[in-house]
Structure 1
């Protein structure tokens, strides 16, 4: 059966998405580029995050079992008894699917000026105006919330998403022994990039702050407004300079900030992580939604479409990795739709670890899925 491996579905989809991106690149004679962040290219950031979480998972265990004086030897023992090459392989598969989808998304987004110039901003702006009874939602938020300290707070929330989402992915892939749960999250996040790109091409827009910039001149000096200026300069450089090395990064419909953060919150709720962490995640989501409208990144319809993408991504991800209720019931009855490989160490290693840590709880699962 096609979905015997929890990464088969997203692996095939991500590969197909990458082929489309490369085809567009060849057709337009625009080289594929790797988007860079504050820690460098994505192919550096993601493995670095994985290694950091790997260290966070094994070093405390090694200290707890063998003490500070034997920590180096203890780390080797924890790796030997708790980790297998299969487990490393599935972590790599999750990171690769996410990375491939993200890089393809960023490049396909960059081709929008050539293939689908923005044409729907006025219609979506009018819809917002009608929806709020003759008012623009961003103007209402500026009036109610002001343009001072609140702007700074929600700006930090908005831009921090670029760092927090990869961190949560690394946590689920590395710190959780249930391979299907990490695969579910990696699949759901990757689908956001794919479905979001499709939405950009269906309804091309740039968003209120770029289509109607004078309405947002009252907001300045925040990380979000600085990011907008940076994107505007890069976008203009791409359009005016054929030799530009920048990636065009402006698109409105749908809001992937909303879709990705909503995906994370819905996934956290369905996997039942600690209630406090769930509450923090939903508060963060509320701040993200506010920021998208407040700073003019998106229209309200963009955010609604983002919610839909998030729901689709989570539920398709659950199906693709064997995590629906029906699939779990079938698996319990001995008829799994997706076979999750046993990544536990060899029985002899387990026996030795049990003897070494008699009486201790040997679970290294930090992210609860109970």
Structure 2
């Protein structure tokens, strides 16, 4: 058996990925009898192949979980950056893939909490990404907040992503996310603020600024965050944005208003005007916003109906979606939706079908039944 293990250890250095991965996996099948392979497997945790790294971690956990964790923790402070990186990757994989005993979780948490100032940015980033799996929010959040001020953007980014996972429990992070907003992590900060919800009201001015001046991805995420926070205080600014020259800003404003829903009733007249916008994207989003805000207003359904014949498929599909949101209150649109049901663009016909199913009048049901019979 020892010779077999010795050969497997040698195979961990083989040029072929499949040989190294196979050796790493097989060593784990030997369990505790393969303890001599632990140093080589720890080295394999830094293999250039993900398959080898994953197999090495899995085998280490089977051979001796406790000693492996201790070794990885010790390696976090190694002089060689590659060793520190390997240790951080190994710890992260173990936490993600295995159900660790409570005592081991506590051991890992304490080690990672002490590694927040590690000279390796990868280690610090791993700390941010992993801590949430190990301890409750009150223990983890202060560390994540500190990570928002890290010198490396990757660390700040992972801190913001981890904060997002805590949702409304992370309300204490709001002022720190606002401060970190423009430090190369604005999209992630916006996501985190949105996940916190109504408790992030203080971030609305910063999110509106992002909506007005940000790039496309940031605008989209800021719009979503404003909707998730649900602040009616944002509506006047969003109405103003609907009237600006920048089509991207107009679209983002309409998206934010859709997210706000009924609290954005004051914007309805401006959204109706936006149904005639020169930008198809703005028209499409304005239709969705009206369907969300005025979901019980039959008059809005009547206004939306002509857009089911718009030249742009995106507008037709979005209009059908808006009518779907209105359900039975869009009954007046059933004949127009039946016509849209025959649209040559699949996403339009599918949106129309979903709208008819939601409206569910006898006429709508009959149209769907006929379609199923023909298809």
TM-score range, shorter chain: under 0.3
TM-score of the superposed pair, with normalisation by structure 2: 0.20
Q: Of the two, which has the highest radius of gyration?
A: 2
Greater share of helix: 2
